[in-house]
Amino acid sequence: MNNLNKLPKQLIFPSLFVVTLLIAFPAFAHTEEGLIGGFYSGFLHPVLGWDHVFAMVAVGLWGAFLRAPAIYILPIVFPVIMALGGAAGVVGVPLPYVETGIALSSVLLGLLIAFAVKSPLWLASIIVGIFAVFHGHAHGTELPQAANAMSFSVGFVVATGLLHLFGIGLGIFVARPGGKIAIQLMGGLIALAGVGFLFGII
């Protein structure tokens, strides 16, 4: 796993690609119809909600902070558990305090990064898994009526994964001089944003 430290050069272009995707939103007519529209709706669902974006990036950042194997285990655990939460949302299983849970995910994950908490892998997986349920449930219950369900699913799973990879891409700079402080600052900002989501300020 030592060659994980070689990541920066390999991930520069993928990271830039993801940033470009996040910035550039082409104008689609009837975005929620058909196969393409379903994918587009699903893809934008995690990307356009800042509460989702901060939490997804935080998962990648924390994984990179904890290093191998957490750097790739957490992005595996999250979509798997998120899908279970999404399935519960689709079939109508109620889950209280979904938005609170999503906001708290940014707060807690941000604080864990800010204070450089080195959690054991099992605990990190449980923390990430619990929050994944809330994020998944929100995706499952907010499926647009006109969207193609299959391409919507593919869209939000891919977008979630890309946000994790973006977080990992940022997190690998922890090995660089001053990188650890920068990442901890990012964690602090994520936690602050989470507090904003929690109290409806943002």
Would you tell me which residues interact with other proteins (CB under 8 A)? 1, 3-4, 7, 10, 72, 75-77, 79-80, 82-84, 86-88, 90-92, 140, 143, 148-150, 153-154, 157-158, 161
In the complex with other proteins, which residue's Cβ is closer, 142 or 189?
A: 142
Q: Which amino acid is at 55?
A: A
Residue 99 main-chain phi, psi, to 5 deg: -65, -35
Query: Shortest distance, CB of residue 124 to other proteins, whole angstroms?
Result: 16
Residues 6+ apart with CB under 8 A from 46: 52, 53, 56, 135, 139, 156, 159, 160, 163
Nearest to 48 by CA among 138, 145, 148, 182: 138
In the complex with other proteins, which residue's Cβ is closer, 48 or 80?
A: 80
Query: Shortest distance, CB of residue 120 to other proteins, whole angstroms?
Result: 18
Query: Shortest distance, CB of residue 112 to other proteins, whole angstroms?
Result: 22
In the complex with other proteins, which residue's Cβ is closer, 1 or 23?
A: 1
Query: Shortest distance, CB of residue 149 to other proteins, whole angstroms?
Result: 4
In the complex with other proteins, which residue's Cβ is closer, 49 or 63?
A: 63
In the complex with other proteins, which residue's Cβ is closer, 60 or 101?
A: 60
Query: Shortest distance, CB of residue 139 to other proteins, whole angstroms?
Result: 9
The tokens 């993928």 sit on which residue?
14
Q: Are 152 and 144 in contact (CB under 8 A)?
A: yes
Q: Are 55 and 197 in contact (CB under 8 A)?
A: no
Rounded to whole angstroms, how far apart are CA atoms 135 and 87?
11
Rounded to whole angstroms, how far apart are CA atoms 198 and 194?
6
